[in-house]
């Protein structure tokens, strides 16, 4: 339990912290959490009820991760079920959920977009490409890749118009196909970004064969009611649970340097989270 926790009164933050501590350091027990809360003057007398609520949250998450479940949970402890170095994107997303994207912001954001791209490809069984700033991808380049008709370039001041990843799945040689436009939010301000990407605006730049679908990727786990509302605003939701699930189910990561770069990121970032 040597990882710093800034907000022990938040059940979501506590669950993230336990997930990360388990993955990095091994078993975490209820007794350890109770000891931590006592040492940090937890104000509620019902710490047992609070800890049980955290365990319920962890069970829900672990069941939804599905496939390669990252944890083994019983009534008194949580243990790792994976070697995190095989799935370092799990650690990156946990850190983003706990800390936000305040360290090597641009590089971290691009890594997260590349994770979203891989997950989107696995989901649709098609192709995807990262196109968001600072990638120097023109609208004409996007059109050539997705085989849709080019109209015009974006004005320079709009950079990428909030489009970070585009995914597509062809039916045949004609240009009517599944198209997904995706925005990715690596930081804590993701709630403010759910409506920023406007697919209809892109009709001024690309003549789509059919209306594209919107998607939104972020690193947090959220309650079902907020998940539902986020989906109404952002389209198809790729939260940490879905991103993890689709990444771990991939037989081949098409971005063949991605996991190595994420491992390097984790090895540099984790020491900065150590409690003093």
Please state the domain extents for the chain.
11-82, 101-254
Tally the C-alpha atoms within 13 A of residue 88's C-alpha that lie toward its C-beta: 18
Tens digit of pLDDT at every position of the chain (276 positions): 577 777 777 899 999 999 999 999 999 999 999 988 888 777 667 789 999 999 999 999 999 999 899 999 999 999 999 999 999 999 999 999 999 999 999 999 999 999 999 999 999 999 999 998 888 899 999 999 999 999 999 998 888 899 999 999 999 988 899 999 999 999 999 999 999 999 999 999 999 999 999 999 999 999 999 999 999 999 999 999 999 999 999 988 999 999 999 999 999 999 999 865
Q: Which residues pair with 78 in a beta bridge?
A: 28, 73
Buried b / exposed e along 124-153 (16+ C-beta atoms within 10 A): bebbbbbbbbeeebebeebbeebebeeeee
> What per-residue confidence (pLDDT) applies to 137?
92
How many helices (H) and strands (E) would you count in the chain? Answer: 9, 10
CA dihedral 183, 85, 8, 4 (to 10 degrees): -110
| CATH number for the domain formed by residue range(s) 101-254 | 3.40.1350
How far apart, in whole angstroms, are the C-alpha atoms of residue 221 and residue 29? 22
pLDDT on residue 102 = 94
């Amino acid at each position: 339990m040597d990882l710093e926790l800034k907000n022990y009164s938040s059940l979501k933050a506590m669950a993230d912290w336990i997930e990360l501590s388990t993955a990095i350091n091994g078993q975490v027990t209820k007794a350890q959490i109770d000891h931590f809360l006592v040492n940090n003057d937890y104000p509620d007398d019902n710490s047992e009820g609070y800890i049980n609520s955290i365990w319920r949250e962890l069970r829900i998450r672990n069941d939804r991760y599905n496939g390669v479940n990252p944890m083994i949970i019983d009534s008194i402890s949580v243990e790792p079920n994976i070697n995190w170095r095989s799935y370092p994107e799990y650690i990156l997303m946990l850190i983003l959920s706990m800390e936000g994207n305040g360290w090597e912001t641009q590089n971290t954001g691009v890594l997260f977009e590349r994770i979203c791209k891989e997950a989107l490809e696995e989901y649709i069984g098609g192709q995807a490409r990262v196109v968001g700033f600072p990638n120097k991808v023109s609208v004409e380049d996007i059109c050539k890749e997705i085989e849709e008709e080019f109209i015009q370039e974006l004005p320079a001041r709009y950079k990428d118009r909030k489009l970070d990843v585009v995914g597509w799945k062809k039916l045949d040689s004609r240009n009517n196909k599944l198209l997904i436009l995706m925005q990715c939010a690596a930081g804590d301000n993701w709630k403010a970004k759910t409506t920023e990407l406007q697919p209809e605006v892109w009709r001024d730049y690309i003549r789509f064969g059919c209306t594209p679908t919107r998607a939104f990727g972020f690193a947090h786990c959220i309650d079902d009611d907020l998940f539902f509302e986020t989906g109404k605003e952002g389209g198809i939701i790729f939260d940490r649970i879905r991103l993890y699930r689709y990444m771990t189910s991939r037989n081949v990561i098409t971005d063949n340097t991605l996991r190595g770069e994420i491992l390097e990121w984790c090895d540099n970032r984790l020491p900065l989270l150590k409690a003093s």
